[in-house]
Amino acid sequence: MQIYSSKEAKWQKQFKQTKVKFLKFPLFILDSLKIKPNHVTIFGLYSGIGLIAFGYFTVAVFTQLICDLLDGALAEKQNSHSLEGSKLDILSDYIFVTTAAIYWWVISNTHPSLLLTYLALIHFQNYLQISLNKEKKETGIVLRPRISILIIQVLNLNGIISTTLAVNLTLLAVTTMLIQVTCLLAKKQKTR
**pLDDT of residue 4 exceeding 60:** no
For the cut 80, the answer to whether the pLDDT of residue 97 exceeds it is yes
Higher pLDDT, 178 or 131: 178
What is the C-alpha to C-alpha distance for residues 17 and 38, in angstroms, rounded to an integer? 19
Distance CA 78, CA 80 (A): 5
Q: What tens digit of pLDDT does each residue of 37-87 get?
A: 999 999 999 999 999 999 999 999 999 999 988 998 888 888 887 778 877
C-alpha neighbours within 13 Å on the C-beta side of residue 192: 5
Q: pTM of the prediction?
A: 0.80
pLDDT-above-70 percentage for the chain: 86
CB 41 within 8 A of CB 89: yes
Which has the closest alpha carbon to 101: 67, 158, 57?
Answer: 57
Q: Mean pLDDT across the chain, nearest whole number? A: 83
pLDDT recorded at residue 2: 46
CA distances to 9, 53, 97, 156, 177 from 145, in Å: 19, 24, 11, 16, 7
Confidence at residue 87, expressed as pLDDT on a 0 to 100 scale: 76
Q: Are 20 and 76 in contact (CB under 8 A)?
A: yes
Q: For the chain, give me the number of helices (H) and strands (E)?
A: 8, 0
Highest mean pLDDT out of 76-80, 109-113, 152-156, 186-190:
152-156
> Is residue 101's pLDDT more than 50?
yes
Per the model's pLDDT, the better-predicted residue between 30 and 122 turns out to be 30
Residue 3 confidence (pLDDT): 46
Angstrom distance (rounded) from CA 173 to CA 35: 35
Give per-residue pLDDT as tens, 136-150.
666 555 566 778 888
Q: Give the residue-averaged pLDDT of 107-125.
A: 83
Res 35 pLDDT > 70: yes
Element (H, E) at 111: none
Q: How confident is the model at residue 143, as a pLDDT?
A: 60
Q: How far is CA 21 from CA 12, 16, 100, 128, in A?
A: 14, 9, 30, 32
